[in-house]
Amino acid sequence: MTESTIKVALLGAGTVGSQVARILTEDRDELAQRIGGTPELIGIAVRSVDTPRDYKAADALYTTDAESLIDRADVVIELTGGLEPAKTRILHALAAVKHVVSGNKALIAAHGAELMTAARQSGAQFSFEAAVAGAIPILRPLRDSLAGDHITRVLGIMNGTTNFMLDAMDARGADFDEVLAEAQRLGYAEADPTADVEGHDAAAKAAIVASLAFHSEFHIDDVHCTGISDITADDVTAAANDGYVIKLLSVCERDGEGVNIRVNPALIPRSHPLASVHDAYNAVFVESRDAGELMFYGPGAGGAPTASAVMGDFVSLARRSVLGGPGVPDYSYLGLAATSLSNVVSRYTVGLEVRDQLGVLAKIANVFAEHGVSIETMHQAKHREREDTAGDHATIRIVTHKTSNEDLRSTIAELTSLPTVYNVTSVIQVEG
C-alpha cells in the first residue's frame, strides 16, 4: 500500500510554507501511512534562495524556477499569496493534471470559480481549506458534512486582528487607536492595517464561504463591506450596557432574491456562542434547516495552524490520488445572485446627540414612525455639557425592531437634517 511516491512541489516559504516544509519532512513516515503512499518534497519555489526562513529545508530544495518544479510534481501546494503569478501557475498545474492545494484567499475570492472549473475539466483535485479561517475546518464541513442539508445563514468572525481589537475594547474599555497600536506591537496587525480594519480580509473569506454554502459563484466584489474604524469606546460601552458585544461579522444569508453577503460591525447578544470568541480566535456559526445551529471555532491565522489546514487538504487529496478515481469536483449548480444591501432586514442600534429640550424625543420617535421603522427601546443614555453647542444636550440610544436597510437609511437621512439633532454618532446592526 505504501509503495507509490507522491512528488510535492511547494510554492512559497513564508510563515505557512515553512511549517508545511517542516511537516512534510519530519512526518514523512507517518504521513505515508495515512496516505498509502510516500510524500516526497521535491522542491520549494521562492523569490530568493538566500532569504532566512523559519524552517530551513535541505539547501538543494530551494529554487527560483517555479514552472519547471511544477512540471516535475504530482501535487502543487501554493502558498505565495496574491493574484499573479499564483493564478497562472495554478492553472498551468491543473491543466497538467497536477492536484493543487492553495491557501491563497485573495486569489480564490477573486477567481475561485475559474480555478474550480479548470480543476473539473482536467480531473485534477483543487482544495483550499487554509484560505478561510486558518486551521478551522469549515469548507469541508460545508461541502461534505452539510451536503444533505440547506444552509440558511452563516455568521462568521473571520478576521483575528479585528476580533483581538474589539475584544480588548470590550474587556478594558480601551479606545480604537490604543488597541490598534497594541495589535501592531504584538504582531497581530500590519503597519498598514487597512486590509484587516476595513474588513477586506474578512470579505474575501466571506465570498469563499458563501460560494460553498450556497452552491453558487460569488466574488469579493459581491461583498458589502464596512470596517471597524468608526467604532468608538462609547459604542462598545453602550453595547455592553445593553447586554451586547460588538464583533466584525461576516454574514452570508439566503434572502428571497439570492444571497446577501456583507461584512460589518454588529452587536450580538452576550449569550450567543459567537460572543465568547475572544482574542484573535475565529469562529463560523452556521444556521441550517435540519442541523440547526452549529459553530466551528479555532485559530484563524498563524503559521502552524494554517499549515495544519494545508496538510489536511494535502493528505485527503493524496489519499484519493493513490486510491484512484477522480476527486469530488465543486459545482455551483444553484447560480444564485448576490443581493443588494437594501435587501437586508435587520435590527439596528442608533446613537444620537440631540438638543435637550421638551418634545425632542417625541420628534425623533416620529421620524422613525414616518419611515416605517418600529422602535424596540429608546432611552436617554446620559447628559453632558458640550462646549461647542449652546446649552445642555442629551445622548439618545435607540434599538429598532427588524427593519429594511432602505427604511433605516432614509430615517437616518432625515434625522441628520433636523436642527435638534447635533450628530448621529453610530448606526450598527444587531445580529444573532
Distance, CA of 180 to CA of 164 (rounded, Å): 9
Question: Interface with a copy of itself includes 79 (CB under 8 A)?
Answer: no
Beta strands in 129-232 (DSSP E): 151-157, 224-225
Question: Interface with a copy of itself includes 308 (CB under 8 A)?
Answer: yes
Question: Interface with a copy of itself includes 307 (CB under 8 A)?
Answer: yes
Question: Interface with a copy of itself includes 3 (CB under 8 A)?
Answer: no
Q: How far is the CB of 204 from a copy of itself (least distance, A)?
A: 20
Complex with a copy of itself: residue 120 or 363, whichever CB lies closer: 120
Q: How far is the CB of 291 from a copy of itself (least distance, A)?
A: 4
Contact between 153 and 251 under an 8 Å Cβ cutoff? The reply is yes
Q: Which residue has the cell 444636550?
A: 393
Question: Interface with a copy of itself includes 187 (CB under 8 A)?
Answer: no
Q: How far is the CB of 18 from a copy of itself (least distance, A)?
A: 12
C-alpha cell at 419: 436642527
Q: How far is the CB of 181 from a copy of itself (least distance, A)?
A: 25
Complex with a copy of itself: residue 20 or 396, whichever CB lies closer: 20
Beta bridge partners of residue 155, listed in sequence order: 251, 285
Complex with a copy of itself: residue 111 or 272, whichever CB lies closer: 272
Closest CA to 72 of 46, 49, 44, 109: 44
Within positions 119 to 148, which residues make up the interface with a copy of itself, using CB under 8 A? 129, 135-137, 140-141, 144-148
Complex with a copy of itself: residue 138 or 364, whichever CB lies closer: 138
Question: Interface with a copy of itself includes 37 (CB under 8 A)?
Answer: no
Active site residues: 205
Per CB under 8 A, the list member of 52, 187, 292, 359 interacting with a copy of itself is: 292
Residue at 120: amino acid letter: R
C-alpha cell at 274: 459567537
Closest CA to 208 of 267, 268, 127: 127
* Number of residues counted as binding a copy of itself (CB under 8 A): 55
Contact between 426 and 396 under an 8 Å Cβ cutoff? The reply is no
Question: Interface with a copy of itself includes 291 (CB under 8 A)?
Answer: yes
Distance, CA of 60 to CA of 47 (rounded, Å): 15
Question: Interface with a copy of itself includes 289 (CB under 8 A)?
Answer: yes
The packing angle between helices 28-35 and 303-323, to 10°, is 40
Complex with a copy of itself: residue 13 or 180, whichever CB lies closer: 13
Binding mask 310-329 for a copy of itself (x = CB under 8 A): xxx-xxx--xx--xxxx-x-
Question: Interface with a copy of itself includes 422 (CB under 8 A)?
Answer: no
Binding mask 328-347 for a copy of itself (x = CB under 8 A): x--x-x--------------
Q: Which residue has the cell 487597512?
A: 194
Contact between 319 and 35 under an 8 Å Cβ cutoff? The reply is yes
Closest CA to 415 of 403, 405, 427: 427
> 122: buried, middle or exposed (CB in 10 Å: 19+, 13-18, 0-12)?
middle
Whether the link from the prior residue into 265 is cis, omega within 30° of 0, is: no
Question: Interface with a copy of itself includes 288 (CB under 8 A)?
Answer: yes
Closest CA to 162 of 208, 226, 239, 105: 226
Binding mask 150-169 for a copy of itself (x = CB under 8 A): x-------------------
Q: How far is the CB of 300 from a copy of itself (least distance, A)?
A: 11
Complex with a copy of itself: residue 264 or 308, whichever CB lies closer: 308
Residue at 6: amino acid letter: I
Complex with a copy of itself: residue 233 or 304, whichever CB lies closer: 304
Distance, CA of 327 to CA of 131 (rounded, Å): 19
Q: For 321, what's the count of Cα atoms within 13 Å in the CB-facing half-sphere?
A: 29
Candidates 46-54, 81-89, 283-291, 379-387: pick the segment binding a copy of itself (CB under 8 A): 283-291
Q: How far is the CB of 225 from a copy of itself (least distance, A)?
A: 27
Candidates 30-38, 82-90, 254-262, 415-423: pick the segment binding a copy of itself (CB under 8 A): 30-38
Name the pairing type of β-strands 151-157 and 244-255. Answer: antiparallel
Dihedral, CA atoms, 143, 129, 136, 311, nearest 10 degrees? 120
Q: How far is the CB of 395 from a copy of itself (least distance, A)?
A: 32
Closest CA to 249 of 240, 236, 262, 238: 262
Residues that bind a copy of itself (CB under 8 A): 19, 23, 27, 31, 33-34, 129, 135-137, 140-141, 144-150, 215, 273, 276, 288-299, 302, 304-305, 307-312, 314-316, 319-320, 323-326, 328, 331, 333
